[in-house]
Amino acid sequence: MYIKSKISKLNHKFRYTKKSKKSSKDFLRSSLDKNAASWYKIKEMLQALQPMETGHKLIRIGSDFDGGYLVPDDLHGIEATFSPGVSAEIEFDLEMAKICKQCYLADASIKQPINLEKNMHFIKKFIGNNKGKDFIRFEEWIEENEPYSNNLLLQMDVEGAEYDILSETPKSILEKFRIIIIEFHDFGKVFDREYLEKFEKTFKNLNKSHTICHIHSNNTLPYVTFKNTTIAPVFELTYLRNDRIKSKLKKAKIPHPLDQPNSPKLPDPTTPNFWQ
């Protein structure tokens, strides 16, 4: 068993390294496109991703490796969680179901998980900005279920749709969430002007009401390097609403001792400080 496990890890590492080289080549090629966004503009946007200390220690909620997130220890009084984008691993939601009164989950791509608690409510729909057979608007989903609370938690993993949703979400809706955890995708397309505009618009909208308190790179996709800056194509950000910040802001230390690689089988060079 030990030998098989070692061979499996070596195979994973080989494929990862091969994929990493291709990703880096594609990334470099996109930077040379005549319509590519300027490196100056990209660096300006990256600087907005600096995590700060908020006076709350960070704790880990959810499973080991993929499916676990670091959040501020400011969960007392959280009344409900919203989780658009559901996978087979819902340990985070199960733990939150013990802390808050209600948990709302949505995803049209899977069947309802079989191990939901009584206070967990699943709808088989995608969350988006438009209505449709398989869609419900983000604002509508929130207002239907928790119209009066401003003690909510959002955990979003919607495979790239986060930009279209959160760039347009009104501040009044975002302010309902004390804590926001988002997995951001597609950063390998940062030289694409259309994507860069989406990134900038989304982060500016979130920064109106919230402050980043943690960043963690997802190692399931290889990182890419450009001009001595290593960028993770997929990463997780944890936000805390500004009125919950207890201390004078200073830069948070990254990586955090509670961080874990999303995949233990793949190389994990830890979160690079690409925002600096």
In the chain, the percentage of residues whose pLDDT exceeds 90 is 71
The chain-wide mean pLDDT, for the chain, equals 90
Kind of pairing, strands 152-156 and 80-84? parallel
The residue written with tokens 């955090």 in the block is: 256
Q: Tokens representing 235? A: 């990463």
Contact at 8 Å (CB) between 194 and 167? no
Q: Write the pLDDT tens digit of every residue in 83-133.
A: 999 987 899 999 999 999 999 999 999 999 998 999 999 999 999 877 778
Q: What are the b/e assignments for 31-45, b being 16+ CB within 10 Å?
A: beeeebbeeeebeeb
pLDDT band at 21 (very low <50, low <70, confident <90, very high): confident
pLDDT band at 5 (very low <50, low <70, confident <90, very high): very low
**Region for 97 from its dihedrals, namely left if φ exceeds 0, alpha if ψ lies in -120 to 50, beta otherwise:** alpha
Question: The domain that contains 143 carries what CATH number?
Answer: 3.40.50
In the chain, the percentage of residues whose pLDDT exceeds 70 is 92
Domains in the chain, number: 1
CA–CA distance, 67 with 47 (Å, rounded to integer): 27
pLDDT of 105 reads 97
Angle between helices 39-46 and 193-207 (to 10 degrees): 20
Residue 264 lies inside a defined structural domain of this protein: no
pLDDT of 61 reads 98
Residue 251 lies inside a defined structural domain of this protein: no
Domain residue limits at 221: 2-244
Contact at 8 Å (CB) between 154 and 210? no
Residue 259 lies inside a defined structural domain of this protein: no
CA–CA distance, 97 with 106 (Å, rounded to integer): 15
| pTM confidence score | 0.92
Residue 273 lies inside a defined structural domain of this protein: no
CA–CA distance, 149 with 78 (Å, rounded to integer): 9
pLDDT band at 19 (very low <50, low <70, confident <90, very high): low
Average pLDDT for residues 134-138, to the nearest whole number? 94
CA–CA distance, 77 with 189 (Å, rounded to integer): 39
* pLDDT tops 50 at residue 6: no
* pLDDT tops 90 at residue 249: no
* pLDDT tops 50 at residue 157: yes
Which residues are 153's β-sheet partners? 81, 179
201 contact partners, CB below 8 Å, separation of at least 6: 163, 167
Residue 215 lies inside a defined structural domain of this protein: yes
pLDDT band at 7 (very low <50, low <70, confident <90, very high): very low
Residue 272 lies inside a defined structural domain of this protein: no
220 contact partners, CB below 8 Å, separation of at least 6: 66, 234, 262, 263, 266
Q: Write the pLDDT tens digit of every residue in 220-244.
A: 888 888 888 888 899 999 999 999 9
Residue 71 lies inside a defined structural domain of this protein: yes
Residue 185 lies inside a defined structural domain of this protein: yes
